[in-house]
């Protein structure tokens, strides 16, 4: 059996912290809808219900419950789908963002990768298909012919070097992406790990107001801008320049402008507040390319973790499911980070063409049931054994990292992948 390095304990701390919070009385008090909820002795008390939801309902609810009692808690208990659905309505949606934020806090205790000392993040959004329910269309909005396809707007602040979702939101479709960026920035400033930050932005975010907010908060940025954002910038030749951004009623803001050719022949324009001249145009070209993982992260969240495969049709249940998926994404990320050195060690002796990393699809399967069993285990030694077993399994079946690959955006009409999201004909 492969032995995991003893000093790498973030995943173990992640499990311990999440388990302790879920089983605490204070968390119950904050998370239940009514003081009367979860006061009687039930088949599914509050902590167990939270663990059951964190195990991600991706099959029928009845099958999920049977698996949970038989393979996770090892109990001879039968619970109906209706009882489970009624119980989860008694949990406030706010419990899940709180749990998510606690997990993020653990991940950044200790070492993490940086770029020239900066924690490097990106902000981007994506549309989320919702179940075909009028109440969801009313709450989040809709797309498609005659606006009949219930859809929400997701947005994420994502650490592109450490594969960590720092802040996530699922909001009404009409919410402006710059307004969401400001929410992410405020959250980042309140993080215990807030330090030397740099955020990468695509061209849809560029505005004087956003640049000004970042300056006030002491957050560096690299922002792609499109033609028409600033006339002086439009007139500049390719190269490295300085420009004053001006707006009535505000102090001028000095930004560095970098213009260069893309392989397509298009001229790319970036603005930044990073003035270090040891970093030239080529450095910023490579830096902006580091934004790409947020695109692949959404692909992982949608197609591997199946965030759109919702287990209910109410506003509360889709928000619960959304945050459960984000919590699991970060749990898999921190476990993969700890397992990666073992993968590297195994491959060092082999003449491989590519570097190899932990296979996310395989990791999702490894986490099923095992992650919750580890959190439920009260014995520290047995929990450590469960945690080590997860990390060891992650080193199996690694996948190659092929550089310079890109995946074109899918612009075809929306197709509902999961049955809950299809139109009801009855």
- pLDDT at 414 (0 to 100): 53
Confidence bin at 264 (pLDDT 50/70/90) = confident
pLDDT of 424 strictly over 70? no
Across the range 385-413, mean pLDDT stands at 74
And the tokens for 257?
Answer: 């402008």
Q: What is the reported pLDDT for 147?
A: 86
CATH superfamily of 112-295: Transposase Inhibitor Protein From Tn5; Chain A, domain 1 (3.90.350.10)
Distance between CA 47 and CA 76 in Å, rounded? 18
Across 260-275, average pLDDT = 92
How many whole angstroms separate alpha carbon 285 and alpha carbon 139? 40
The pLDDT, as a whole number, for residue 6 is 41
- What pTM does this model have? 0.91
pLDDT tens digits, one per residue of 147-156? 889 999 999 9
Domain ranges of the chain: 10-95+306-421, 112-295
Task: Find the range with the poorest average confidence among 14-18, 94-98, 141-145.
Answer: 141-145
Give the Cβ contact number of residue 219 at 10 Å.
19
Please check the confidence at residue 410 and state whether its pLDDT lies above 80: no
- Give, in order, the Cα–Cα distances in Å from 317 to each of 21, 131, 259: 21, 11, 46
Number of CB atoms found within 10 A of residue 255's CB: 23
Answer whether residue 99 shows pLDDT above 90.
yes
Distance, in Å, from the CA atom of 53 to the CA atom of 70, rounded to the nearest integer, reads 15
- The yes-or-no verdict on residue 185 having pLDDT over 90 is yes
Contact 208, 247 (CB under 8 A): yes
Given a cut of 90, whether residue 11 has pLDDT beyond it is yes
Question: Which range, of 63-67, 165-169, 177-181, 263-267, averages the lowest pLDDT?
Answer: 263-267
Task: Report the relative pairing of strands 239-245 and 253-261 from DSSP bridges.
Answer: antiparallel
pLDDT value at residue 330 = 97
**Mean pLDDT across 223-245:** 95
pLDDT at 351: 64
Q: What is the 3-state secondary structure (H, E, C) of the chain?
A: CCCCCCCCCHHHHHHHHHHHHHCCHHHHHHHECCCCCCCCCCCCCHHHHHHHHHCCCCCCHHHHHHHHHHHHCCCCCCCCHHHHHHHHCCECCCHHHHHHHHHHHHHCCCCCCCECCEEEEEEEEEEEECCCCHHHHHHHCEECHHHCEEEEEEEEEEECCCCEEEEEEEECCCCCHHHHHHHHHHHHHCCCCCCCEEEEECHHHCCHHHHHHHHHHCCEEEEECCCCCCHHHHCCCCEEEEEEECCCCCCCEEEEEEEEECCCCCEEEEEECCCCCCCCHHHHHHHHHCCCHHHHHHHHHHHHCCCCCCCCCCHHHHHHHHHHHHHHHHHHHHHHHHHHHHHHHHHHCCCCCCEEECCHHHHHHHHCCHHHHHHHCCCHHHHHHHHHHHHHHHCCCCEEECCCCCCCCCCCCCCCCCHHHCCCCC
Per-residue pLDDT, averaged over 240-262, amounts to: 94
Q: What is the predicted pLDDT for the residue at 350? A: 66
Mean pLDDT of all residues in 295-309: 95
pLDDT number for residue 420? 52
Residue 83, phi then psi, degrees to nearest 5: -65, -40
At residue 57 the predicted structure's pLDDT band, cuts being 50, 70 and 90, is confident
Is the pLDDT confidence value at 181 over 90? yes
8 Å CB contact between 363 and 300: no
- Residues 29 and 398: their CA atoms lie apart, in Å, by 42
State residue 262's pLDDT score: 87
pLDDT score for 60:
87
pLDDT at site 7: 44
Out of 44-48, 58-62, 262-266, the most confident range is 44-48
Share of the chain above pLDDT 70, in %: 91
| Averaged confidence pLDDT in the chain | 90
């Amino acid at each position: 059996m492969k032995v995991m390095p003893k000093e790498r304990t973030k995943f173990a701390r992640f499990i311990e912290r999440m388990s302790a919070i879920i089983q605490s009385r204070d968390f119950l008090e904050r998370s239940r809808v009514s003081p009367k909820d979860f006061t009687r002795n039930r088949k599914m008390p509050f902590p167990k219900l939270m663990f059951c939801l964190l195990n991600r309902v991706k099959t029928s609810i009845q099958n999920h419950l049977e698996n949970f009692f038989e393979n996770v808690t090892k109990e001879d208990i039968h619970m109906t789908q209706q009882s489970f659905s009624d119980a989860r309505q008694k949990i406030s949606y706010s419990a899940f963002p709180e749990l998510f934020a606690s997990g993020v806090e653990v991940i950044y205790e200790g070492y993490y990768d940086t770029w020239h000392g900066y924690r490097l993040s990106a902000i981007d959004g994506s549309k989320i298909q919702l179940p075909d329910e009028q109440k969801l269309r009313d709450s989040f909005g809709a797309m498609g012919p005659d606006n009949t396809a219930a859809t929400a707007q997701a947005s994420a602040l994502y650490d592109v070097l450490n594969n960590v979702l720092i802040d996530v939101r699922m909001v009404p479709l009409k919410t402006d992406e710059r307004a969401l960026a400001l929410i992410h920035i405020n959250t980042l400033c309140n993080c215990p790990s807030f330090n030397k930050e740099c955020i990468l932005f695509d061209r849809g975010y560029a505005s004087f107001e956003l640049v000004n907010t970042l300056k006030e908060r002491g957050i560096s940025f690299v922002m792609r801008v499109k033609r028409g954002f600033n006339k002086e910038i439009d007139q500049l030749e390719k190269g490295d320049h300085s420009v004053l951004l001006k707006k009535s009623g505000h102090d001028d803001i000095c930004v560095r402008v970098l213009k260069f050719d893309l392989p397509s022949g298009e001229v790319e324009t970036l603005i930044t507040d990073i003035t270090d001249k040891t970093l030239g145009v080529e450095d910023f070209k490579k830096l902006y390319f580091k934004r790409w993982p947020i695109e692949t992260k959404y692909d992982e969240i949608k197609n591997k973790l199946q965030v759109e495969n919702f287990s209910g049709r109410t506003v509360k249940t889709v928000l619960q499911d959304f945050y459960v998926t984000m919590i699991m994404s970060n749990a898999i990320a921190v476990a993969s980070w700890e397992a990666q050195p073992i993968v590297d060690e195994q491959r060092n002796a082999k003449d491989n063409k590519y570097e190899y990393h932990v296979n996310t699809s395989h990791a999702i399967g490894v986490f099923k049931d095992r992650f919750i069993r580890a959190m439920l285990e009260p014995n520290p030694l047995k929990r450590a054994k469960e945690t080590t077993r997860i990390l060891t399994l992650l080193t199996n079946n690694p996948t190659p990292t092929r550089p310079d690959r890109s995946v074109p955006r899918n612009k075809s009409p929306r197709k509902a992948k999961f049955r809950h999201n299809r139109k009801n004909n009855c």
